[in-house]
């Protein structure tokens, strides 16, 4: 089981990053793929960089390297999750054995200095570790590159209860009158799949849980109209962690009971209450330059090439030259899949009815967030915001 301190720290970074990164366009991010690499760097950092990384990580640098290695191992041990680490160094760059010992065994390879050859090797690693979803290592290689530290993370789950595909044409909002690739399913599990959270820093939220068969869940998050996506997603992460009081589906009153939620009585032969969840199918892709938000990741001073910052990694003077993440996520009728590669490079000085029944209609018909969560630990593996769902048929006929 993953360390609870690490879960809180990774989720906190996910929330901060989501608030900063989500704007008018859709995006997806995986702090679970960044945090362990930053932890490995922190253990080898010195001076102001060590302090900045401690602030970003939420843990002390003395324990960070070991904890980063433990998180990588725990991720790879989760059903439906694959995590991999890669380290490439120039042949003439000495690496401190104590730091390298915290990495998974057998991950170190050599940078030859031949840019084309090294690029092919790193791209092949990214593609292989993400089953072809990410075809390029998201880091530039230059003659000055001495070290590349990379992590790959894939998340996959098949729904316990698949959705039924069908047309979806929203009647209002930014997707009004668009034909979308809709997904719908009915369930009698009102409390396990729906939670209305009326009071968060982002206002009221609706969270719909979609359970995977391997211990992974996806939570769809809808806020009130007009609330910025970053605020909705940040508050959604807090709601998943139980920071805000919410009400389960069975406790919701008739009428409009939350963003996108309507509780009503409908004609039915079976009086059992049910919920109808409707959402569009989506695929979201993003590439993040982590140094654009260097303060968020504790990397501001690490970019200063006038001196070295990682004496615990190598006796050679090293400064951070790049840090990027490429990621893609898809939500379909059958399941959810996401893949991310993060890399950092260091250079010198990544029928007729008889009765009625309660029906809760939950519809995601305008931009919304999603969180892929490890059920047992509460670790948020990926987070994203959907603004461009997949299109449906051009005609209903």
CATH number at residue 95: 3.30.497.10
pLDDT of 354 reads: 61
Pairing of strands 261-268, 355-363: antiparallel
322: domain range? 4-157+285-348
Q: What percent of the chain has pLDDT over 70?
A: 98
pLDDT of 142 reads: 87
pLDDT of 348 reads: 86
Residue 32 sits in the same domain as residue 128: yes
Residue 34 sits in the same domain as residue 148: yes
Residue 18 sits in the same domain as residue 91: yes
pLDDT of 333 reads: 96
Q: How many domains does the chain have?
A: 2
Residue 44 sits in the same domain as residue 150: yes
Residue 84 within any structural domain of the chain: yes
**Confidence label for 373 from pLDDT (cuts 50, 70 and 90):** very high
Residue 375 sits in the same domain as residue 248: yes
**Confidence label for 291 from pLDDT (cuts 50, 70 and 90):** very high
Considering only residues 297 and 393, tell me which one the structure prediction assigns the higher pLDDT.
Answer: 297
Residue 191 sits in the same domain as residue 253: yes
**Confidence label for 395 from pLDDT (cuts 50, 70 and 90):** low
pLDDT in tens, 210-239: 999 999 999 999 999 999 999 999 999 999
Residue with tokens 């508050």: 235
Q: What is the mean pLDDT of residues 64-92?
A: 92
Rounded CA separation 193/248 (Å)? 8
pLDDT in tens, 139-169: 888 888 999 999 999 999 999 999 999 999 9
Considering only residues 178 and 270, tell me which one the structure prediction assigns the higher pLDDT.
Answer: 178
**pLDDT exceeds 80 at position 104:** yes
Residue 150 sits in the same domain as residue 174: no
pLDDT in tens, 295-341: 999 999 999 999 999 999 999 999 999 999 999 999 999 999 999 99
Residue 271 sits in the same domain as residue 357: yes
Q: What are phi and psi of 163, to 5 degrees?
A: -90, 160
pLDDT of 396 reads: 46
Residue 186 sits in the same domain as residue 306: no
Residue 31 sits in the same domain as residue 48: yes
Are 123 and 141 contacting, i.e. CB atoms less than 8 angstroms apart? no
Torsion, Cα 275 281 285 291, to 10 degrees, reads: -20
Residue 251 makes CB contacts below 8 A (sequence gap 6+) with: none
Considering only residues 352 and 104, tell me which one the structure prediction assigns the higher pLDDT.
Answer: 104
Residue 223 makes CB contacts below 8 A (sequence gap 6+) with: 202, 203, 204, 205, 206, 229, 231, 232, 235, 259, 368, 369
For all residues of the chain together, what is the average pLDDT? 93
pLDDT of 140 reads: 87
Residue 218 within any structural domain of the chain: yes
Residue 141 sits in the same domain as residue 237: no
pLDDT in tens, 31-45: 999 999 999 999 999
pLDDT of 394 reads: 65
pLDDT in tens, 157-213: 999 999 999 999 999 999 999 999 999 999 999 999 999 999 999 999 999 999 999
**pLDDT exceeds 90 at position 66:** no
**pLDDT exceeds 70 at position 391:** yes
Residue 368 sits in the same domain as residue 258: yes
Rounded CA separation 137/343 (Å)? 7
The b-or-e profile of 332-361 (16+ CB within 10 A means b, else e) is: bbebbbbbbbbbbbbbeebeeeeeebbbbb
Q: What percent of the chain has pLDDT over 90?
A: 84
């Amino acid at each position: 089981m993953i360390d609870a301190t690490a879960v809180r720290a990774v989720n906190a970074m996910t929330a901060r990053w989501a608030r900063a990164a989500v704007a008018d366009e859709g995006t997806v991010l995986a702090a679970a793929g960044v945090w362990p690499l930053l932890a490995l760097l922190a253990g080898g950092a010195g001076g102001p960089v060590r302090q900045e990384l401690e602030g970003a990580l939420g843990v002390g640098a003395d324990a960070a390297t070991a904890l980063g290695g433990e998180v990588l191992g725990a991720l790879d041990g989760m059903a439906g999750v694959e995590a991999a680490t890669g380290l490439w160094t120039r042949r003439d760059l000495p690496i401190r054995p104590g730091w390298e010992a915290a990495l998974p065994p057998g991950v170190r390879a050599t940078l030859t200095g031949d840019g084309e050859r090294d690029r092919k090797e790193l791209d092949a690693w990214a593609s292989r570790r993400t089953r072809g979803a990410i075809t390029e290592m998201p880091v530039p290689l230059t003659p000055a590159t001495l070290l590349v530290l990379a992590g790959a993370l894939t998340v996959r789950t098949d729904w316990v209860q698949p959705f039924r595909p069908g047309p979806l044409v929203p009647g209002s909002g930014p997707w009004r009158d668009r034909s979308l690739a809709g997904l719908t399913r009915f369930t009698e599990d009102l409390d396990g799949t729906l939670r209305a959270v009326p009071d968060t820093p982002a206002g009221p939220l609706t969270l719909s849980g979609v359970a995977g068969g391997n211990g992974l869940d996806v939570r769809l998050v809808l806020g009130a109209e007009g609330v910025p996506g970053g605020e909705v997603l940040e508050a959604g992460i807090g709601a998943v962690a139980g920071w805000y009081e919410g009400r389960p589906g069975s406790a919701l009153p008739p009428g409009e009971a939350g963003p996108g939620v309507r509780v009503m009585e409908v004609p039915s032969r079976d009086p059992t209450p049910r919920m109808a969840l409707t959402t569009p199918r989506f695929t979201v892709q993003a590439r993040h330059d982590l140094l654009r938000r260097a303060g968020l990741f504790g990397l501001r001073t690490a970019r200063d090439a006038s001196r070295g910052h990682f004496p615990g990694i190598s006796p050679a003077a090293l400064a951070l030259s790049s840090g990027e993440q490429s990621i893609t996520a898809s939500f379909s009728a059958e399941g959810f899949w996401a893949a991310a590669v993060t890399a950092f490079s260091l250079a010198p000085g990544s029928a007729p009815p008889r009765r009625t029944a309660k029906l809760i209609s939950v519809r995601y018909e305008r931009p919304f967030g999603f969180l892929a969560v490890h059920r047992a630990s509460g670790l948020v593996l990926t987070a994203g915001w959907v603004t461009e769902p997949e299109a449906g048929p051009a005609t209903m006929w």
